[in-house]
Amino acid sequence: MDEEARVGQQYLVDVELKVDFSAAADEDDLSKTIDYCDINRIVQEEMSVRSKLIEHVGQRILKRFKNELSTMESATVEIKKPNPPINGNVEYVSVVLSVSQT
């Protein structure tokens, strides 16, 4: 909605990644796992881009995960929009999107 575009909106983002951590765990080697800071950076960057649909933002996040996180096997992203401007008492609306490397 126009007002939301002007004043902004808070969102909640949950990320679930499937990664084979066995080499990282065996060798105590960060380069063989996924750095949480990278995940956070990608989510923050994509959430800061103005978009009409949370579905579009979620798809962009997953695309970047797939392109930038080489050890990721699959990912699920849920974006929640609290107190949506719809008729009724609704806590939030959300979309859940998933992708795999294969």
More confident residue, 97 or 3: 97
6 CB burial (10 A radius; 0-12, 13-18, 19+): exposed
Catalytic annotation, pick one of 32, 66, 80, 81: 81
Q: What does the alpha-carbon distance between residue 95 and residue 78 come to, in Å, rounded to a whole number? A: 6
- The model's confidence at residue 70, banded by pLDDT at 50, 70 and 90, is confident
Mean pLDDT of 60-74: 94
**pTM metric for this prediction:** 0.86
More confident residue, 88 or 46: 46
pLDDT of residue 102: 72
Q: Which domains, and CATH codes, for the chain?
A: 2-100 (3.30.1130.10)
Q: Tell me whether residue 81 is one of the annotated catalytic residues.
A: yes
